[in-house]
Amino acid sequence: MEYLTSSHRAQWVLSAAALAERRLRCLDEARETALEALQIERRLQAEAGKRAGEALPEILSGEEEATLVRQFQVRLREMAEKMGLPRQVVMVALLFFKRFYVLHSTLDHQPGYIVAACLMSAIKSEECTMFQGSKTPFSVSRFLDSINGPPAPGHQPQRKRLISADELVRQEAVLMDGLGFTLMAYTPLHALEGALRHCKHALRLTEVQLRAVRDNATACCQAAMLTDAPLLLHVGELALLSVKRALGAADLVHRVPQYLAEVAMQASEAQRARREDLDRMWATSGPFVTSRAPAGSAGGVREESCDVHNHVFGVADGVAGEGEDLEGRLDFGEAVLEEGMNALERDKAINMRALIDKLNSCRNPGTNPASLLFKQRRQQEKDEKSLVKRKKRKAGADAGLGDDE
């Protein structure tokens, strides 16, 4: 599947208003559910003689939730770099994490567990068979050791494990269900390569200049993955934005207008060629036309040559994607990136330990295995299953008795 027809483009490139509305609705619902569950938990604790008369904790605000999500993204990237995972895997894991917390809240799902689930799912989806710089094949035990730390040698006390193998499997299921199994995730890395090749030829860059632009653009892409940019921009737009900023950092800012003009012209030609290929394919294949021309055909050659452009420009019928011009979309991306980087800078002054403690005090007891409410509900589920089994056995015994008669 290519980007133009993917679930990534259809479902996970949002407008700023749609993204804010989804997050607000998600947090409002989570806060209401958590407050109701906390009231039940306090009643159960009072009945058990624990924490009687204690006031309900203050629920997380929207800004506190956003801070937690941002900082756990930073932790995810740090853990992935410590493991030596490829950039592509790290970016896919970050996309999974971002998507999950657009639809769900930290009040319901502990972000530390979701980080581990996102990393494991990204490793699977990108078929990462071994860590970088290691000849030892990847394994779940090595993954868990990377998160929890290796077991203590000899008879030394074992350190507390952050996540067990069983919990990892359970959290992966939570992640898959939370994402609705929309796992197609495109990172800007492939589009960036296309944009850099185009940039080199369009601006006749030297190897030294190209190396500087590549390094800066890659760093920009990696920084952008910690902001809302991947949820608001097409992968091609994010790649172009990174190249634009990299040209400025390499003292080539005066070449940016020329480069963007070349991009707009090439995008128009690529899109026209793509439509001609699809028209030709329709004429020969009728309703059985696919999104990609058959390998070896004239259409296939043209489609392959346009593939970089499709990734770079992100949409089939215009580089802007929202009815805006290219420069307007890139200016919007600049604003998103700056806002995200400023938020990450502000987070450095926040006491994260205190914020995590607040989350632990007000998280939904219904999803916390240590709470009385969670244990009560699990016991009720076990009792209901046992009752169903007893009824089935009784029905079977009665049926057997009837046959004997």
Instruction: Quick: pLDDT tens for 338-348.
Output: 999 999 999 99
Segment 227-253 shows an average pLDDT of 90
137 and 174 both lie in a single domain:
yes
Q: pTM for this structure?
A: 0.81
SS3 sequence, the chain? CCHHHCHHHHHCCCCHHHHHHHHHHHHHHHHHHHHHHHHHHHHHHHHCCCCCCCCCCCCCCHHHHHHHHHHHHHHHHHHHHHHCCCHHHHHHHHHHHHHHHHHCCCCCCCHHHHHHHHHHHHHHHCCCCECCCCCCECCHHHHHHHHHCCCCCCCCCCCCCCCCHHHHHHHHHHHHHHHCCCCCCCCHHHHHHHHHHHHHHHHCCCHHHHHHHHHHHHHHHHHHCCCCHHHHCCHHHHHHHHHHHHHHHCCCHHHHHHHHHHHHHHHHHHHHHHHHHHHHHHHHHHHHCCCCCCCCCHHHHHHHHHHHHHHHHCCCCCCCCCCCCHHHHHHHHHHHHHHHHHHHHHHCCCCHHHHHHHHHHHCCHHHCCCCHHHHHHHHHHHHHHHHHHHHHHHHHHHHHHHHHC
The reply to whether 60 and 146 lie within a common domain is: yes
Shared domain for 129 and 223, answered yes or no, is no
Residue 384 domain-assigned?
no
Does residue 226 sit within a domain?
yes
* Per-residue confidence (pLDDT) for residue 403, from 0 to 100: 57
Is the pLDDT assigned to residue 99 strictly greater than 50?
yes
Residues 176 and 63 in one domain: yes
- Residue 287 clears pLDDT 50, i.e. is over it: no
Domain assignment present for residue 177? The answer is: yes
Residue 290 confidence (pLDDT) above 50? no
Within a domain: residue 170? yes
Please tell me whether residues 135 and 244 are part of one structural domain: no
Across 204-232, average pLDDT: 93
pLDDT band, very low/low/confident/very high, at 276 (cuts 50, 70, 90): low
Kindly state whether residues 18 and 134 are assigned to the same domain: yes
Task: Among 74-83, 167-176, 380-389, name the one with the lowest average pLDDT.
Answer: 380-389
Q: What is the band of 26 on the pLDDT scale with cuts at 50, 70, 90? A: very high
312 and 359: one domain? no
* Whether residue 359 is found in the same domain as residue 311: no
Q: How far is CA 284 from the centre of its chain?
A: 40
Distance CA 242, CA 236 (A): 10
Q: What's the total number of domains in the chain?
A: 2
Asked if 178 and 218 sit in the same domain, the reply is no
Where a domain ends, among 345, 363, 394? Answer: 345
d(CA 96, CA 175) in angstroms, rounded, equals 8
Q: Which residue has the higher pLDDT, 255 or 67?
A: 67
pLDDT at residue 321 in the model: 43
Same domain? For 166 and 227 the reply is no
pLDDT per residue over 119-140, tens digit each? 999 998 888 776 665 666 777 8
Residue range of the domain that includes 76: 3-185+351-373
Are 116 and 217 in a shared domain? no
Of these ranges, 38-52, 183-197, 344-358, the one predicted with the greatest mean pLDDT is 344-358
In a domain, 9, yes or no: yes
The answer to whether residue 382 is domain-embedded is no
Greater confidence, 281 or 16?
16
**pLDDT over 90 percentage in the chain:** 41
